[in-house]
Amino acid sequence: MLDAPGDHQPVSGEAPTVAQLHDFARRVAEDAELIASLPLDPEGRTWVRLDGPGGSEAWLIGWPPGTGTGWHDHADSIGAFFTAGGELTENSLAARLPTDGWRTLELTEDVDRVRHLATGQGRAFGKFHVHEVLNESMTEHAISVHAYYPPLPQIRRYSRTGDTLRLEQVERPKDWQ
């Protein structure tokens, strides 16, 4: 859908960098016509898949009031997202978790990070970034743009109680497309 040439586009055949994904998400978030075209549902999140740079996977997502993703990671994918409307909150862990072979972890103190991302703000992240994204508003929708490379091989979903993080489910692309 959107993959306009620019100074930060990957050369054909090269994987996009996290900076290029961040730049792409920012440019899409600034496209008022595209943002306004996203259908919003008061009951659940809505999304439209976009053509990201260099073969990346990208999504335009609508967030009804009070919704969120739950704790998850994007496995081997790097990524970025930008808030195009409203405000999102990202809770994340400032710790690298083991990638396989565990079901429950006790987190250490001081690993929690909170970011409030208003319209026009975004962030990028590396592989195995564990986070949850929330629309904490009880009255307003939020809209965001997300980009990942390589296209998501899996998403691992977690539950969290206090300092205990528990792997609950591993989803593959067929589960959400």
Task: Look at the block and give the residue holding tokens 């300092």.
Answer: 163
pTM for the model stands at 0.88
> Domain range for residue 129?
18-175
**Structure tokens, 165:** 């993080």
- Residue 173: cis peptide before it, omega within 30 degrees of 0: no
- pLDDT 10s digits, 102-154: 889 899 889 999 999 999 999 999 998 999 999 999 999 999 999 999 998 88
Whether residue 66 lies inside any domain: the answer is: yes
pLDDT at 5: 35
Q: How many domains does the chain have?
A: 1
Concatenated DSSP letters of 105-158: EEPPTT-EEEEEEETT-EEEE-TT--EEEE---SS--EEEEEEEES--S-EEEE
Identify the burial level of 89 via C-beta atoms within 10 angstroms of its C-beta, where 0-12 means exposed, 13-18 middle and 19 or more buried: middle
Q: In the chain, which ranges are continuous DSSP H helix?
A: 18-29, 32-36
Identify the burial level of 55 via C-beta atoms within 10 angstroms of its C-beta, where 0-12 means exposed, 13-18 middle and 19 or more buried: middle
Contact call for residues 140 and 13 (beta carbons, < 8 A): no
Q: What is the pLDDT along the chain (177 residues), one digit of tens a residue?
A: 333 334 445 555 689 999 999 999 999 999 999 999 999 999 999 999 999 999 999 999 999 999 999 999 998 899 999 999 999 999 999 987 777 778 898 998 899 999 999 999 999 999 989 999 999 999 999 999 999 999 988 899 999 999 999 999 999 888 766
Length of the chain: 177
Whether residue 10 lies inside any domain: the answer is: no
Distance CA 83, CA 166 (A): 28
Residue 101's domain is classified under what CATH number? 2.60.120.10
Whether residue 12 lies inside any domain: the answer is: no
